[in-house]
Amino acid sequence: MAQFAPCPNCASTEADKQVFTWWGGLIGPALLTHVKCKSCGTTYNGKSGKSNNKAIAIYFAVIFGLFVIPCIAIQILIALN
């Protein structure tokens, strides 16, 4: 039995779990079961076999909204005082 869903690009069942990515660090890939096909290099959701692009965009927007924007706002407030 394959550990991950087949690749949506080449249908291979051989994939490696991605431990770290630029968009999600260590947490994002684990939350989204982000895997990379050993045959063609396509990255996708290892549970559903579908692209993670939409989920990555949502994850990135939430993280940006929760952490980056407040930090920028704090820096602006500090600079104004």
Domain count, the chain: 1
In a domain, 4, yes or no: no
| Distance in angstroms (rounded) separating the CA atoms of residues 5 and 42 | 13
* pTM: predicted TM-score of the whole model, two decimal places: 0.77
In a domain, 69, yes or no: yes
The answer to whether residues 4 and 12 touch, using CB atoms and an 8 Å cutoff, is no
Q: Print the domain residue range for 31.
A: 15-80
In a domain, 49, yes or no: yes
In a domain, 10, yes or no: no
Instruction: Say if residue 17's pLDDT is above 80.
Output: yes
Strands ordered across the beta sheet of 34-37: 15-17, 34-37, 43-45
pLDDT band at 65 (very low <50, low <70, confident <90, very high): confident
Instruction: Say if residue 1's pLDDT is above 60.
Output: no
